[in-house]
């Protein structure tokens, strides 16, 4: 063994014996570096827990009117007040989190997955494939998001599954354009050319060399679009095209009791409005923090 090989071997042995920082410590360091991201993650986790354990957390049945409790303001008994039918507003907000999170996660997952696949295909093969896919995406993006969702809901009919399909169709073109742009940049790198030279197939190049480098934009799309999906669902419910009553949803509360009692009972509209705003803000802040942490171009720059 040469002297250089012996030095390298000793260096690797020392590196292997060096104690690594525990995961909890690294997590705490990241939390201190990104306080807004940590705060948003706590809010999102609280919302998820609230949605999962809604039957055990809510003080009342969200569908059952309480006796002599019509349009009562916030009080120790009803923290968020009651609606025009005497139903506890806090319980309906808690159960409404289930609808918002479920619609957001499923619709964003479907839209981002389909859009990312189309973006990978479009950006990698280019040519006529890219032209056809992008012209279809441009046609969809020509319509405002809420208008397109309204048209689809008018055709499909109001139901929870149709809401998720409509939001997924709205999200897919944006995801496709972002992923396509990233793929066009990544495929110019030398390691992609090297993979082609050694005989790697297109599927292997896409899965091993390109997809890991577009993961950060996909994560950002998911985190930001979750907030947008919640807003679209709330808007559709507000217009009567979303989740059908009496299922509690934040947009449905705004559209029904909130709109009818805006002047004499403003707390009915205030509570779901704050819930929607907090959820959208939390997802946007979390997406920004994840981008700074996982994107190699931004890592260590702040």
pLDDT in tens, 45-79: 998 999 899 999 988 888 888 878 788 888 888 88
Give residue 294's pLDDT. 64
Distance between CA atoms of residues 273 and 96, nearest Å: 12
Which pLDDT does position 118 carry in this prediction?
92
Return the CATH architecture of domain 33-57+78-281.
Answer: Orthogonal Bundle (1.10)
11 pLDDT tier (thresholds 50, 70, 90): very low
Least trusted range by pLDDT, from 220-224, 226-230, 286-290, 291-295: 291-295
Predicted confidence band of residue 302 (pLDDT cuts 50, 70, 90): very low
Half-sphere exposure of 208 (CA within 13 A, CB side): 11
Average pLDDT over residues 11-22: 45
What are the structural domain ranges in the chain?
A: 33-57+78-281
% pLDDT > 90, the chain: 11
Report the residue count for the chain.
302
The Cα–Cα gap between 292 and 302 comes to 8
pLDDT at 3 over 70: no
Round to whole Å and give the CA distance between 244 and 241: 8
**Which contiguous run of DSSP H or E holds residue 6?**
helix 3-17
Distant-in-sequence, close-in-space partners of 5: CB < 8 Å, separation ≥ 6: none
User: In 3D, which of 164, 156, 154 has the Cα closest to residue 240?
Assistant: 154
> According to the model, what pLDDT value does residue 114 have?
92
pLDDT digits (tens, 9 = 90+) for 211-252: 888 887 888 788 778 888 888 888 887 777 777 777 888 888
pLDDT at 111: 92
Give the residue among 288, 283, 293 at the shortest CA–CA distance from 40.
283
């Amino acid at each position: 063994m040469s002297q250089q090989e012996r030095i390298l071997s000793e260096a690797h042995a020392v590196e292997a014996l060096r104690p690594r920082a525990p995961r909890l410590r690294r997590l705490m360091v990241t939390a201190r570096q990104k306080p807004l991201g940590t705060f948003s993650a706590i809010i999102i986790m609280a919302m998820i827990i609230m949605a999962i354990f809604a039957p055990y957390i809510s003080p009342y049945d969200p569908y059952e009117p309480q006796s002599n409790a019509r349009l009562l303001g916030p009080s120790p008994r009803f923290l968020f007040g009651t609606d025009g039918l005497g139903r506890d507003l806090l319980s309906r907000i808690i159960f409404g989190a289930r609808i918002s999170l479920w619609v957001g996660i499923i619709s964003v997952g479907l839209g981002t997955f389909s859009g990312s696949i189309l973006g990978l295909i479009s950006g990698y093969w280019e040519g006529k494939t890219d032209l056809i896919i992008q012209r279809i995406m441009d046609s969809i993006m020509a319509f405002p998001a809420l208008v397109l969702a309204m048209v689809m809901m008018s055709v499909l009919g109001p139901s929870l599954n149709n809401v998720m399909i409509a939001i997924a169709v709205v999200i897919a073109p944006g995801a496709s354009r972002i992923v396509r742009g990233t793929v066009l940049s990544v495929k110019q790198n030398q390691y992609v050319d090297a993979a082609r030279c050694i005989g790697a197939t297109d599927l292997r190049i896409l899965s091993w060399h390109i997809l890991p480098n577009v993961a950060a934009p996909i994560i950002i799309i998911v985190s930001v679009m979750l907030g947008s999906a919640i807003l679209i669902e709330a808007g559709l419910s507000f217009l009567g095209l979303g989740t059908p009553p009496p299922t509690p949803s934040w947009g449905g509360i705004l559209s029904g009791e909130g709109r009818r009692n805006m002047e004499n009972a403003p707390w009915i509209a205030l509570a779901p409005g704050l819930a929607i705003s907090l959820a959208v803000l939390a997802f946007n802040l979390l997406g920004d923090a994840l981008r700074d942490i996982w994107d190699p171009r931004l890592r260590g720059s702040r």
